[in-house]
Chain A
Amino acid sequence: EAQVTQNPRYLITVTGKKLTVTCSQNMNHEYMSWYRQDPGLGLRQIYYSMNVEVTDKGDVPEGYKVSRKEKRNFPLILESPSPNQTSLYFCASSPATLNYEQYFGPGTRLTVT
């Protein structure tokens, strides 16, 4: 089954404790992206990757890091989480060219206390 998976689905952590949210897709998509969803703000793009070893900032990259060492994986790293990063995070993938929809993972709800 074609899918995007994220782990963990739920995470409660404390300020400053480094964490990684994994994302994996099995569709051989070149393009992958991370979004955060906050009430009243919709989805905002954090980072995206056009291919292996090629990443770029989205609209809200501060406090986040990403890496793309393999085509299928695109982990999101919070090196020193803060309470304002409490949010619902989605990973998505898409064929690299224009005019394709994105396929979303189930989301990761992160709470930073």
Chain B
Amino acid sequence: AQSVTQPDIHITVSEGASLELRCNYSYGATPYLFWYVQSPGQGLQLLLKYFSGDTLVQGIKGFEAEFKRSQSSFNLRKPSVHWSDAAEYFCAVGTPNSGGYQKVTFGTGTKLQVIP
């Protein structure tokens, strides 16, 4: 069975600083990889996804993520954080189940605080 680890429960960065959120997964092959963002009181919104091809993926709101097969990682990055980026971020992996449908497993989330 697949699993997802987000080792940082809470991260604080200054506005304008760079950001990297870590995500590691466990699965026997390359899964489908996602990053979602949850703003306070909101549902989850997709930031970006990786299925194959170029290992550096661009997403919305200036985010990018890099898939590293050797490290089983899919870390999320942003060069310059804005106060509006304060939210909770979830990494997720999708793998096919026995019926051919996608089974998605979420990490426990990283809460980002942005300080002036």
* Chain A residues at the B interface, C-beta cutoff of 8 Å: 4, 31, 33, 35, 40-45, 48, 50, 56, 90, 92, 94, 96-102, 104-107
Name the distance in Å between B33's Cβ and chain A's nearest Cβ: 10
* Chain B residues at the A interface, C-beta cutoff of 8 Å: 6, 9, 32, 34, 36, 41-46, 49, 51, 90, 94, 96, 99-104, 106-109
Q: Which of B6, B43, B96, B109 contacts A105 (CB 8 A)?
A: B43
Q: Which of A31, A97, A104 contacts B43 (CB 8 A)?
A: A104
Asked if B43 and A50 make an inter-chain contact with CB atoms under 8 angstroms apart, the answer reads: no
A31 contacts across to B, CB distance below 8 A: 101-102
Q: What residue in chain A is nearest B43 (Cβ atoms)?
A: A104
Q: Which of B44, B107, B108 contacts A90 (CB 8 A)?
A: B44
Name the distance in Å between B71's Cβ and chain A's nearest Cβ: 21
Given the known A-B contacts A41-B108, A42-B107, A42-B109, are A98 and B43 also in contact in the complex, defined by CB atoms under 8 Å?
no
Most buried by A among B6, B34, B43, B49: B43
How many A-B residue contacts, CB cutoff 8 Å? 58
Asked if B104 and A96 make an inter-chain contact with CB atoms under 8 angstroms apart, the answer reads: no
Distance between Cα atoms of A107 and B39 in the complex (Å): 12
B108 contacts across to A, CB distance below 8 A: 40-42
Name the distance in Å between A41's Cβ and chain B's nearest Cβ: 6
B94 contacts across to A, CB distance below 8 A: 98-99
Asked if B42 and A106 make an inter-chain contact with CB atoms under 8 angstroms apart, the answer reads: yes
Distance between Cα atoms of A80 and B6 in the complex (Å): 34
